[in-house]
Amino acid sequence: MRREIRFRLNGEAVSAQVAPHETLVELLHGGFGLYGARESCGQGLCGCCTVLVDGRAVSGCLYLASLVEGAEVSTVEGGKELDAVQQAFIEASGFQCGFCTPGFVLMTRQLLDEIPDPSEEDIKHYLSGNLCRCGAYPQIIEAVKLAARKRSRA
Amino acid sequence: MKRATQSTETPQVGRSVPRLESWLKVTGRAEYVHNLRLPGMLYGKIFRSSVAHGRIKRIDVSAAQALGGVHRVVTGEDVRKLVAEPYYGPAFHDQPVLALDKVRYVGEPVAVVLASDPHVAEEAAHLIVAEYEELPAVYDEVEAMSSKAIVHDTLKPAGTFPDLKHLKGRTNTNVALDFHLRRGDVQKAFAAGHRIFEHSFRTQQVMHTPLEPLVSVAESTESSLTLHTASQSPSFVRSEVARLLAWPENRIRVRVPYLGGGFGAKLYIKLEALVAVLTLLTRRPVKISLTMEEQFFTITKHASTFRIKSAVAPDGHVVARECEVWWNGGAYADIGPRITQKSGFTAAGPYDIDNVLIDSYALYTNLPPAGALRGFGIQQLVWAYESHTDMMARALGADPVEFRRRNLLRDGRPQATGTVMRDAALEKVLDRVCVLLDWSKPFDRGAGSVRRGRGIAIGFKACVSPTTSVAAVNVNADGSCTVYCSTTDMGQGSDTAMAQIAGEVLNRATESVSVVHSDTGVTPYDMATLGSRSLFHMGNAVKLAAEDARRKLDQLKSELGLSAEAEIGEIFKKKYGMQAGNVLGTGSYVPTYKSPDQNGLTDNATPFWMVGGSGVELEVDTQTGRVRITRLVNVADVGTPINPKIVETQLSGASIMQLGFTLFEKMQFDASGQLRNASLAEYKIPGFLDIPEAIINEAVVAEQKTGPFGAKGVGETGTFSVSPAIANAIEDAVGVRLTSLPMTPEAVYMKLQESK
């Protein structure tokens, strides 16, 4: 039942044996020991399982692993140094428990790629698919604005 | 980063240090139990009751057991072979590890399937068949007082609480605790011809929904058991599992890494007793991770009904107050009886009232169990007494702020229990809410179908007492230091705060101090991370431990003839001739406390008071009933903040959580006790589009003289007053009064229609 797939994971060529029902989050956990994308609501509603596939955010708890065949997969663990978004989340206190944070970091990167200088409304709407039960939303807005400034300076 | 081994003169307390674990969290590398996989591990999937109340006639596990890949199916009877009395709980030993004889709510765990593949376990769980003889059920907390449906045949208090002893062995009742407070003579005051006001309020059952669902892993040898668990109370887990197994505590090790949120959901025993039994039955590591859906069947917040009656003298003073509160505890008591008593202390509100009568009842019903949720019952009370206060002010034609100010408790005055208020900045908090809300300035009331209003509320809380915290601070031979404590960092920033306190005492940069996470094999006892108690209790213990280490270092300096300015590293080099050895400071903290007498009175109810006020400006769309909050102000007395930025985010986050409980969150049950919305698709929690346009948070200038560096807890404070401030603002905007939560657009719209 398992078949081999090949794809790029955080810039590295990899391969894996996957079952038909296996999700991308299960593959990242079981196959690669990457736990930054995590299942929470299990319905693609909270954003904790966010993974970028060919630069687009997907819900890794619903997205079938076999679909990443040939794709470029990016998780929060990619990159050796903290980027402007991660630094901004730290400086603006954009998290508390940290469970939802990888999803917010990845979505913010995608947001700033599309809209380099987002308004508050842009930020709220773009990130509305990510939930934070600690309620760090006001600080996340600040973090996104700060990340935008950091990026424009870079 | 400052070198860990060097001393610093920079004050560490009062700095907004970013959380110590920041790098781990933004790179996805923080350790959660969720991440843990052990060699040979089995995954457990729980089979749950489909009826609200029934006798178990038969559980057929044969088809599940026969499915390929299933290791074993375990039922309550298997548990009983290992543990003769497999019932746990902090207040009552009422909750079975797996259902025995009876089930008491829909969703109660009945059996577990174990398999190496979690998908196999899940598939097999669907193959289990159970038959029940259904019994009459009760769901409403007020009905439970007199219902013929009795949830527990016999009450089994744990024996650790003196105020529960009288309930032992009681039958034919659903009352799991009755707390009564009598101060002055309420009947006489009510008969004296004053204006009398009486109202009833209700709150709904809601769930914490931490985004990391409950998860526990257990592994065992022939003589030891290790639990890796997302728990706010590792010390309790150890002692309770030890009691169940009749093992000494040192054979059980409870490890807790970071928590992906807790909010009270991860207290006491949740999955720990179950995975402990399963690993002992199978001799394999066992992991159970709940789904978001299953969390709703595990622990919730009490629904409540509150009848409140007050007498107001012609001069505007409240002279008497009667409070009757019923708490819907669900099928198992969890910590409900403590909530009933501790919140009972303050049910009459932060007002100086000579005559007070409080009756507070914890009730069993056939709903999922209720426990602590970020406030220990306080929001339910503030919701009622602050709505009531506003309704009285309106009826009397008084300004709601002035009416409160006239009646507010001042420092040095006794509160309803008789405990004198100290370090409780009630007046200052009320003043700052008004200033930040521009209360005295003209206000735009809107026009057409969009009407604007504003409201305020203020609440307070007595911290749960008496509780113990123990800490150790180790100074290493290179001068770096490590804090050992069993406080769980679930996002509130306790690691950072404890490092700041130790750093302040030992002149070490906070960023250089390491904090060892809860591991009962290593870290000392702590009652639990709950009720905003940790910064005060564990903070005091860490401060004492650091001071103990400093004293020992100073003593060594003088013994070795070193100057007072000598760096710590020099001490060890001189004493041991090389970089070796260490100094361990220890500290323990337990505040004084006096149990209430038969009238519910005590002159020492709490080690500190928490005060939180909120002000709200909002718009009501009269065509849809939709409420839009344009400004939310949260003001608190948190003593002197250890970390001002973290304090601000705690106030802000708590108030946003409470917005959900106020405006839309509600567990909806059908007539047979089936929960209809156990998922984030149907149970909405606040998202980006739900937050107010502006949120302003402020900690007033204050000092808790008994706290570490003047500080006290803050985790819950931001929740206290949000709900009544919104209800008060809605009445201000459109003239209708809502007395039940949540205040959904439908509820507001229906009220508007009624009032036409």
What is the rounded distance in angstroms from the CA atom of residue B40 to the CA atom of residue A17?
Answer: 20
pLDDT for residue B3: 58
Q: Give kind and range of the element (H or E) at residue B114.
A: strand B109-115
Q: In the predicted model, is pLDDT for residue B243 greater than 80?
A: yes
Contacts of A75 in chain B (CB under 8 A): 28
**B254-291 pLDDT, tens per residue?**
999 999 999 999 999 999 999 999 999 999 999 999 99
Could A138 and B646 be called an inter-chain contact, meaning their C-beta atoms sit closer than 8 Å? no
Residue B7 pLDDT class (50, 70, 90 cuts):
confident
Residues of B in contact with A41 (CB under 8 A): 211, 292, 679-681
Q: What integer pLDDT is reported at residue B163 of this predicted model? A: 74
Domain membership flag for residue B196: no
The helix/strand/coil state of B616 is strand
Residue after which a domain boundary falls, among A37, A54, A74 = A74
In 3-state terms, what secondary structure has residue A50? Answer: strand
Amino acid B2: pLDDT: 45
**Residues β-bridged to residue A12:** A9
Q: For position B217, which CATH number holds?
A: 3.90.1170.50
How many domains is chain A partitioned into structurally? 2
A13, A57: one domain: yes
Is residue A95 located within the same domain as residue A147?
Answer: yes
CATH number, residue B634: 3.30.365.10
pLDDT at B165 over 90: no
B575 and B645 both lie in a single domain: no
Consecutive H or E run containing A51: strand A50-53
Same domain for A96 and A51? no
Comparing alpha-carbon positions, the chain A residue that sits nearest to B680 is: A41
Q: Which of B108, B240, B716, B731 is catalytic?
A: B716
Question: Quick check: B341 and B179 in contact, CB under 8 A?
Answer: yes
How do residues B670-726 score in pLDDT, each as one tens digit?
Answer: 999 999 999 999 999 999 999 999 999 999 999 999 999 999 999 999 999 999 999
* Residue B159 confidence (pLDDT): 80
Distance CA(B96)–CA(B94), nearest Å, equals: 7
Inter-residue contact B245 to B83 (CB < 8 Å) = yes
The answer to whether the CB atoms of A99 and B32 lie below 8 A apart is yes
Write the CB contacts of A38 (distance below 8 Å, at least 6 apart in sequence).
A25, A48, A49, A99, A102, B32, B34, B212, B260
Domain containing residue B82: 39-135+210-295
- Cβ separation of B688 and A90 shorter than 8 Å? no
Q: Tens digit of pLDDT for each residue in B167-181?
A: 889 999 999 999 999
Query: Does the CB of B263 have a partner CB in chain A at under 8 Å?
Result: yes
Whether B25 sits inside 8 A of A95 (CB atoms) is yes
Domains contained in chain B, number: 3
pLDDT digits (tens, 9 = 90+) for B15-39: 999 999 999 999 999 999 999 999 9
Packing angle of the helix pair A84-91, A137-153 (nearest 10 deg): 140
**Contact between chains at A97 and B695 (C-beta distance less than 8 A):** no
Q: Do B119 and A91 touch (CB under 8 A)?
A: no
B496 and B621 housed in the same domain: no
Position B254 in a domain: yes
Query: Which CATH number covers residue A38?
Result: 3.10.20.30
Q: Are B260 and A29 inside 8 Å of each other by CB?
A: no
B422-451 tens-digit pLDDT: 999 999 999 999 999 999 999 999 999 999
Nearest to B261 among A124, A134, A138 (CB): A134
Q: B90 to chain A nearest CA, in Å?
A: 26
- Partner residue facing B28 (CB), from A43, A77, A136: A77
- Same domain? For A69 and A99 the reply is no
Q: Does B665 touch chain A (CB under 8 A)?
A: no
A55 and A89 assigned to the same domain: no
Interchain CB distance below 8 Å, A133 and B211: yes
Which chain B residues are within 8 Å of A125, Cβ to Cβ?
Answer: 688-689
Which site among B25, B120, B258 would you substitute to test the A interface, given the most A Cβ atoms closer than 10 Å to its Cβ? B25
| Whether B443 and B486 share a structural domain | no
Q: Do B234 and B122 have their domain in common?
A: yes
Q: Are residues B491 and B471 in the same domain?
A: yes
Asked if B258 reaches chain A (Cβ–Cβ under 8 Å), the answer is: yes
Q: Which candidate from A90, A124, A138 shows the least CB-CB separation from B26? A: A90
pLDDT at B1: 42
Task: Check whether residue B638 and residue B703 sit in a common domain.
Answer: yes
C-beta separation of B231 from B529 below 8 A: no
Q: Kindly tell me if the per-residue pLDDT of B627 is higher than 50.
A: yes
The answer to whether residues B455 and B508 belong to one domain is no
Question: If pLDDT is split at 50, 70 and 90, which confidence band does B95 have?
Answer: very high
Interchain proximity A135–B695, CB inside 8 Å: no
Contacts of A35 in chain B (CB under 8 A): 28-29, 32, 34-35
B308 in any annotated domain? no
**pLDDT score, position B343:** 87
Pair (B455, B472) in one structural domain: no
* B212 is an active site residue: no
Pairwise CA distance, residues B213 & B289, whole Å: 7
Could you read off the pLDDT of A13-39 as tens digits, one per residue?
Answer: 999 999 999 999 999 999 999 999 999
Q: Is residue B374 in some structural domain?
A: no
Q: Is B355 a domain residue?
A: no
A60/A42 same-domain check:
yes
CATH of the domain at A102: 1.10.150.120
Whether residue B658 has pLDDT greater than 70: yes
Q: What single DSSP character describes residue A20?
A: T
Mean pLDDT of chain A: 97
Q: Could you tell me if A101 and A65 lie in one domain?
A: no
Q: Provide the phi-psi class of A135: left if phi over 0, else alpha when psi is between -120 and 50, else beta.
A: left
Residues B56 and B83 in one domain: yes
What confidence score (pLDDT) does residue B404 get? 98
d(CA B585, CA B473): 5
User: At A69, is the secondary structure helix, strand, or coil?
Assistant: coil
Cβ-based neighbours of B125, under 8 Å, separated by 6 or more: B45, B46, B47, B64, B111, B113
> Of B295, B323, B350, which residue sits at a domain end?
B295
Angle between helices A137-153 and B644-663 (to 10 degrees): 130
Residue B715: closest CA among chain A residues belongs to which residue? A134
For residues B481, B484, B489 and B492, what is the CA-based torsion angle, rounded to 10 degrees? -60
Q: Is the dihedral of CA B741, B742, B745, B747 positive or negative?
A: negative
Of the residues B295, B316, B351, the one at which a domain ends:
B295
Copy the structure tokens of residue B183.
Answer: 């101060």
Q: Are A93 and B687 within 8 A, CB to CB?
A: no
With respect to residue A79, please indicate whether it lies within any of the assigned structural domains. no
Q: Residue B695: which residues within 8 A CB-CB, separation 6 or more?
A: A138, B631, B632, B633, B634, B652, B655, B656
- Per-residue pLDDT of B367-376, as tens digits, reads 999 999 999 9
- Report, as an integer, the average pLDDT of B184-201: 97
Which chain A residues have a beta carbon less than 8 Å from that of B266?
none
Same domain? B617 vs B728: yes
**Structural domain contains residue A133:** yes
Are B638 and B611 in contact by the 8 Å Cβ rule? The answer is no
Give contacts of B695 with chain A, Cβ < 8 Å.
138
Question: Shortest CB distance from A135 goes to which of B28, B32, B656?
Answer: B656
Cβ within 8 Å of A, B 435-494: 490-493
Residue B755 has pLDDT above 50, yes or no: yes
Q: What is the mean pLDDT of residues B210-230?
A: 97
Regarding whether A108 and A59 lie in a shared domain, the answer is no
B695 and A CB contact within 8 Å: yes
Kindly report the average pLDDT of chain B as a whole number. Answer: 97
A31 min Cα distance to partner chain B (Å):
12
**Locate tokens 């100057």: which residue?**
B563
Is residue B531 a part of any domain in this protein?
A: yes
Would B214 be classed as within a structural domain? yes
Handedness of CA B432, B631, A107, A143 (dihedral sign): negative
Radius of gyration of chain B (CA): 27
Q: Is B302 on the interface with A (CB under 8 A)?
A: no
B27 touches chain A (CB under 8 A): yes
Evaluate whether B421 touches B609 at the Cβ level (below 8 Å): yes
User: Domain boundary residue among A30, A45, A74?
Assistant: A74
Contact B26/A95, CB-based, under 8 Å? yes
Confidence at residue B166, expressed as pLDDT on a 0 to 100 scale: 84
The answer to pTM > 0.95 is: yes
Do A45 and A21 share a structural domain? yes
Q: Greatest CA separation found in chain B?
A: 88
Q: What residue numbers bound the domain in which A147 lies?
A: 84-153
Q: Three-state SS for B311?
A: strand
Based on the domain organization, do A59 and A105 belong to the same domain?
A: no
Q: Looking at the structure, do residues B232 and B97 belong to the same domain, yes or no?
A: yes
Q: Are strands B318-328 and B303-312 parallel, antiparallel or unpaired?
A: antiparallel
Structure tokens at B293: 């859906």
Q: What is the pLDDT of residues B583-605, one digit of tens each?
A: 999 999 999 999 999 999 999 99
| Final residue belonging to a domain, choices B589, B616, B631 | B589
Residues B585 and B481 occupy one common structural domain: yes
